[in-house]
Structure 1
Amino acid sequence: MKTIKLSLAALMAGGAFMGAAADEKPKRTLKPNRMLVYNTLPSEVDSLKDMLTQGEFYGRLRLNTFKWDWKEETRATKDNWSAGMGASLTYKSAYFHGVGFTIDGYTSQNPWHMDKEDIKFLKAGKDVLSRYNVYNDGDYHMNVLAQLYLEYKFAKSSFKFGRQKFESFLTKSNDTKMIPNTFEGYTLTSKYFDKTTIKLAYLTKQKLRDHTRFHDVVTFKNADGESWANNDDAGVHRGLRYDYFEAAGEDVDHDLMIVEVRNKSIPNLKVMLNYTAVPDVLYDLTAEAHYTFKAGDFKIVPGMRYMAQFDDGGGKVGDAALKGLLSPYAATGTQEGGYSDPHSLDGWLFAARIDLKSSAPWKLRLGYSHIGDEADIVAPWRGFPTGGFTRAMGQYNWTANTDTWMLRGDYDFGKAGLVDGLKAMFRFAVQDYDQDKYVLVDGKKVALQFTDRNVLHLDAIYKIKALPGLEARVRMAFVDADERFDGIDPSYNEYRFEMNYLF
């Protein structure tokens, strides 16, 4: 089995180098958020044969390394590292009467890794492998068809059925590691109406970045109590777990429904409306707007986001806190934990930002977010509720009564005439969590939120002009946190190095 997996990696890598030799211009490019932009796409053809033979192959080689350095190690924390090297190979068919298909295979190989018993300590670096597969099969490698869908194009619209990425406010591919976050289901994206994009989705399964199997969109743990077999995203609600749903007489299988509209009909104004729901658990309504003012050589862009989360039955199963310790089915579920209603998922958030841009090589952003003092926000689909406003690298700042201020600066060394292809970005965030939200376990305080902290994030991307499609990226985060109730300092430093080659 290992020979087959390594052969798959070698085949994909070999294909990449042959593709690079054949065409130096990349068919795709990467945005800073790692979303792919397709520069070359298959066209409409006149026969079924041409549909298959005139499709396009796309390849990607990647390397990701991670180092996590805790200020203090404990029984539950340990300095950790990981390294992943792999590839993806995508085939998009041409379109015959508007019908086409996409197959997208990924592999992540980990010849150097921590011992099996230490895998549980991995933080950001967990996404280069599947912890479930390591513990159950001793398998440190991942091979998966993350996308496999049929597509029908019509009237400036696209309908897709099968495994696919779906980018919306709360659902993202978030392809910053080795394998993207994808879903199974039905989606429709339409630009039929002028300056308007409409997205509809009915998603039945999700596959997180460190999984090789598709699973439920919100349920934590499975029937066997395996924490890593179902939805174990860092933002998952641990009270919405398999045995709690069963104990409440509720379904353990869930779907995700999305309606999103983006509009630019009014000059200089961008508007987004989003509805996201897990029926019989919760639903969200979000409105967002950004307006561009011109002031001489500068552009000033204020923006606002308001999100309301509504309980649709999930509160009686889980609770108001993402840790799930207030659930009526948990041992500590009789305590309020500092929440006004510990068994309700009703909640909300408000975020605002202002961008300052010009023809100069720099731009600035000041952002603020406040989470209502009700329930924590549930969002385990890799779209971050505070993203684009106050979320710095790896930070989950959407728990109840959390305030965050963030300053961001971008600098383009190429535009400044210093280093062609080099861009850098910093983010400094001050995060104020609610330390009155805790429960007593065996007479000791257990926090339901993080401690207050300051976060400095540095990011640099270098696109190597000599070989189009090749780029390197360095990311660093320095987190200075207050001590916990038990006197432990949860501060840490995090270092990442990434390389990508697209062909």
Structure 2
Amino acid sequence: MLKKYAFLSIACGFLSTPALIAETPKSAIKSNGQMIYFEKQKDVNSIKDMFKEGNFYGRLRNNNFYFWYDDSKPNKDFLVSGVGASLVYKSANYNGFDFTIGSYGTYAFFNDSAETVSNLGGRKDLLSRFDYVNTGSKSLYTFAQANISYKYSKTKLILGRQIVETFYTKSNDTKMIPNTFEGIVLESKDLQDTKVKLAYLTKQKLRDHKNFHSVLMYGDANASSAQSPQYTGNDDSGMHQGLTYTALRDAGKSTTAPLIVLDAQNNSIENLQINFAGYIVPELLSQAMGELNYKIDMGTFSINPGVRYIQQFDNGAGAVGGAALDGTPTGYKDANSLDAQMIAAKVVTKFDDYKINLGYSNILDKADLVTPWRGFPTAGYTRSMAIYNWTANTKSYRIELVKGDNKTGVYKDGFIQTSILYVNGDHAKTSSDDYMYYYAGYVKNLENYPEFQYRVRFGYKQYIQDADAQTDSIDSRLEFNYTF
């Protein structure tokens, strides 16, 4: 195992050596994967100049995953790598109009004789599993963005393929290709002290998919005649696997229902931020989220308590797929209802360049939460790398320490994030366990060459009950990014 990690130490030591050329990057990558574009969009007087004065943004990236499992089963410890590139063009602004086109590509390297793509787990986003199963291809190329927008005052309307950053929908661009959607989005800051985003999204393209697909439909044999038809629909983490094409069709439900999202933040009360978000998938599900964060300024440091509440409303999906995300509602009080609730609380202390976050979340003992669009209900409270909590009757507790966070995505002094998480699951349910999760991550931009960024992340999952039936594991990741 030490040999397999040796290249991490060598690479990090090499990259810590300052480069010779100091530049200001055209774009940068925040610790959560969101892109930041520094070049200001130009205003022009003709359609010709709209094209001529636009900006190209390029990115080269490499991701490496090594998973170690504490058992004797063969072919479980393995390395998966991927290389990729993207090119995004943002036009200049002409009379309020502009457009964006983004193309992305990735190629994966792994020993397919030792591990099947169905077991790749968190490494699956380095390729298209559907393409690999059906054609043997380990490459993926897609136009994930292609949209036109119009802006008037502080309100913007965007139509087409796009990244949609809300509480429920995220780009989550931490692998090779971002999560994007097709639809129309209205975002506005015209209301005083308020930001609002309203989205009507007809399709989604997951990070490991080439094509856009239904936002809330799990593929099956009736959806596609190809091999592994589950990869043709929404097969991501947090997807309800009981909401299959066949089950929805037989119940008279749409297999292509849209996702309608509202996201708002208000700061009209001093030191208090009010967040509200909601989604509707017609005739199936809806959710509402309310959150309060209050800042208590103590001079040299601040204390920020926060609370979040989520209510999920079953509008017909429970009768189709049941209360459990995995489609087997063993141990649920009402096996045919998706009515659900979550409560969460945190206390964040900030001082100098540090942040300590004490968080708690509780998915009440009703049904699982359904949010499969890369927005995580426990984010900011108890979510750590690769740990998602949607399961009913599950409580989580986390302490997190962060150093070097900023909003620019350029971490010349380094960004450090560590956390310890305890998850208390419901043993009566098939997908619930008790475990500890230890996480450490480091992000660094070279001081004199900020276009180059590397990330090292480690997560150790340790089961504390039913140890004989579970497998402790280490999830290690090394990523390189170069933007131009």
Say yes or no: does 1:403 pair with 2:388.
no
Q: Deviations over 1:400-448 (max 9, x none)?
A: 010000000013499xxxx9522211011000011122xxxxxxxxx1x
Q: Which segments of 5 or more consecutive residues in structure 1 lack a partner in the other structure? A: 1-19, 327-336, 438-446
Residue deviations 1:340-359 (CA, integer Å, cap 9, x gap) = 11101100101111111112
- Structure with the greater relative contact order (CA < 8 A, sep ≥ 6): 1 or 2? 2
The answer to whether the 8 Å contact 1:71/1:489 transfers is no
C-alpha separation in 2, matches of 1:433 and 1:258: 30
Q: CA deviation at 1:192?
A: 0.9
Match of 1:440 in 2: none
SS in 2 for 1:42: coil
Partner of 2:218: 220
Question: Which whole-Å deviations, capped at 9, do the CAs of 1:467-498 have from their partners, x for residues lacking one?
Answer: 1221110000000014559x422321110000
Counterpart CA distance in 2 for 1:90 and 1:113 is 32
1:56 maps to which residue?
55
CA shift in 2, pair 1:186/1:21, >3 Å: farther
Matched, 1:498 2:461: no
Partner of 1:480: 462
Name the residue aligned to 1:388.
Answer: 380
Q: For 2:94 and 2:22, how far apart are their aligned partners in 1?
A: 26
Matches of 2:72 and 2:154 in 1, distance apart? 55
CA contact (8 A) 2:22 2:448 kept: no
Equivalent residue for 1:34?
33
Structure 2 residue aligned with 1:47: 46
SS at match of 1:400: coil
Q: Distance in 1 between matches of 2:299 and 2:163?
A: 40
Residue 94 of structure 1 aligns with an amino acid whose one-letter code is A
2:5 is the counterpart of 1:24: no
Deviation at 1:74, TM superposition (A): 5.3
Amino acid at match of 2:100: T
CA deviation digits over 1:328-348, x for unaligned, max 9?
A: xxxxxxxxx221111011001
Cα deviation, residue 450, structure 1: 2.7
Distance change in 2, residues 1:413/1:346 (3 Å): closer
Shift of residue 22 of structure 1? Answer: 12
Question: Is 1:136 the counterpart of 2:134 in the alignment?
Answer: yes
CA distance in 2, matches of 1:21, 1:178: 28
Match of 2:439 among 451, 454, 457: 457
**Do the aligned residues in 2 keep the contact of 1:218 with 1:254 (CA within 8 Å)?**
yes
TM-score for the superposition, normalised by structure 2 = 0.90
Which of 281, 286, 289 is matched with 2:289 structurally?
286
Is 424-433 or 38-47 further displaced after alignment? 38-47
1:5 aligns to what? none
Alignment partner, residue 442 of structure 1: none
Supply the distance in 1 between the matched residues of 2:181 and 2:114 (Cα, whole angstroms): 28
* Corresponding residue number in structure 1 for 2:356: 364
SS of equivalent residue, structure 2 residue 48: helix
Contact between 1:80 and 1:123, CA under 8 Å: does it hold in 2?
Answer: no
1:106 alignment partner in structure 2: 104
Alpha-carbon separation, structure 2, partners of 1:355 and 1:212: 39
The worse-fitting range, judged by mean Cα deviation, of 34-43 and 58-67 is 34-43
Deviation at 1:200, TM superposition (A): 0.5
- Cα distance change on mapping 1:230 and 1:293 into 2, 3 Å: same
Distance 2:118 2:107 in 1: 18
| Corresponding residue for residue 78 of structure 1 | 76
Distance 1:413 1:94, change over 3 A: closer
Alignment of 1:194-209 (within 5 A): 194-209=192-207
Unmatched 5+ stretches in structure 2: 1-18
Aligned pairs (5 A) from 1:115-130 = 115=113, 118-130=116-128
Matched, 1:425 2:446: no
Cα distance per residue 1:266-302 (max 9 Å; x no partner): 1111111111111111000110111110123111011
Distance in 2 (CA, whole Å) between partners of 1:116 and 1:221 is: 26
Shift of the alpha carbon at 1:24? 3.2
Deviation at 1:175, TM superposition (A): 0.3
The residue number in structure 1 matching 2:279 is 276
**Amino acid aligned to 2:338:** L
1:154 to 152, 159, 183: 152
* Aligned with 1:436 (options 415, 425, 428): 428
Counterpart secondary structure, 1:468? strand
Amino acid at match of 1:45: V
Give the match's secondary structure for 2:320: coil
Equivalent-residue separation in structure 2 for 1:49 and 1:113 (angstroms): 49
Q: CA 1:283–1:74 in structure 2 vs 1: closer, same or farther (change >3 Å)?
A: farther
Specify the code of the residue in structure 2 equivalent to 1:479: K
1:73–1:187 CA distance, 2 compared to 1 (3 A):
farther
